[in-house]
Amino acid sequence: MSKSRTLTFEDANAAAALMLDNQALPPDLNVRVRHLIDGLCCIVGAKNGLFSPISDFKRGGEAIFEEAVLGGDTNDGVEEGLMEYADAAYSTDPLLMATMDHYQQPIVVARHQYVSDKAWYGHPHVAEFRKQFTKVDDSIYAYAPVGPSKVLALGINRAWGERVFTERDRLLIELVF
The pTM of the full predicted model, rounded to 2 decimals, is 0.93
Q: Report pLDDT digits (tens) over 3-48.
A: 577 899 999 999 999 999 999 999 999 999 999 999 999 999 999 9
Query: What pLDDT is recorded for position 1?
Result: 41
Using CA atoms, how far apart are residues 137 and 158, in angstroms rounded to an integer? 6
Q: What mean pLDDT is predicted for residues 52-57?
A: 94
Name the H helices within 45-166: 78-87, 94-99, 111-114, 117-121, 124
pLDDT tens for each residue of 74-124: 887 789 989 899 888 888 999 999 998 887 899 999 999 999 999 999 999
